Amino acid sequence: MSIFDSAAFQGHEGLHAFADEATGLRGFIAIHSTARGPAAGGCRMWAYGAEQAAIDDALRLARAMSFKNAIADLDLGGGKSVIIGDSRTAKTPALFEAFGRAVDTLGGRYWAAEDVGVSPADLAHARRATRFIAGLEGHPAAAGDPSPVTAEGVKRGIELCVHRVLGRDLAGVTVALQGVGHVGAYLADKLAAAGARLVIADVDEAATRAVAARTGARVVSVEAIFDVEADVFAPCALGGAINLLTLPRIKTPIIAGAANNQLVDPATGAALLERGVTYAPDFVINGGGIISIASEIRALAAGGAYDPAWVEMKLAKLMETLDAILDRGLTERRPTQEIAIEIAQARIDAARG
């Protein structure tokens, strides 16, 4: 089947393959939409088992970024890049410089930032080859690592859901946190500071030990995290964690986390509704990081400086949007993910004219 006929490609503007023989770089940049502005989204490095898996991931993530940027009312479209390789063993400065050259060939249609397996330090090497990299340090417009801002938005979203469903604040609430990488670790710190009790799991045992030492979290296996008795399940690892196999095991009345593409398919969203689970749509609750990146892109375009007040304003409005989506989910008896996609798609369509 042609890529143009695949369900994953539908609605996309482009899929760009890149490779560099000298460094071993191989990967893809997916651009879903530039209707609202240049496509923006993170760069992920992962040891995909097959080339098609990397393509499908890039396409799914790029579409999610279009929705995320639209729902946050940013002047950005959606894109994503993936590098095929083990981030623990295959990283080199030269590889990321080559990635920067690949980004530069698109002439500003795509801005890259960090994502799973990629750090701001990695992207500093890419920045040598292109200006279309955001989320770094060292200049007045710089946003820095977007992970803390993502975590702040997710923490506020969890707090909102807990208040709506349980009628209380975070003190004493138990959160089952799946994944304590860049964003998950910051989120764990913020939740613990607010008085939440944490149960955590991650494939990286050193990361779980470090977070547990700081927060007092209880550590369980990556498989057992679905069975934890808790108030909130927070997916903060890879996508697809919520599916028709794992959902019956999750005992929490709230699902709210930082991962992208948490629901494996629309049927899972319908199942959440039937079970009475309050679900915070992933691309709404985790939009803080891209808001921070957007501030950097705005500042670079204007020759100005990063504006924390603008970021705070956008983050506060995003929480208002989440609250409104949760309200509509109750009154319309519809999956919240469906409602959020509908709002985001309408904004993208309006920009296309």
Closest CA to 344 of 278, 268, 283: 283
The DSSP output letter for 217 is: P
Instruction: Name the active-site residue from 68, 80, 190, 314.
Output: 80
Report the first-to-last Cα separation within the chain, whole angstroms.
Answer: 32
C-alpha of 99 from chain center:
21
Provide the strand spans (E) within the chain. Answer: 14-20, 25-33, 39-46, 77-84, 110-114, 174-178, 197-201, 218-219, 232-235, 254-255, 278-279
Count of residues in the chain: 353
d(CA 260, CA 60): 9
Residue 91 bears catalytic tag: no
Q: 174 CB contacts (<8 Å, ≥6 apart)? A: 196, 197, 198, 199, 228, 229, 230, 231, 232
Provide the annotated active-site residues.
Answer: 80
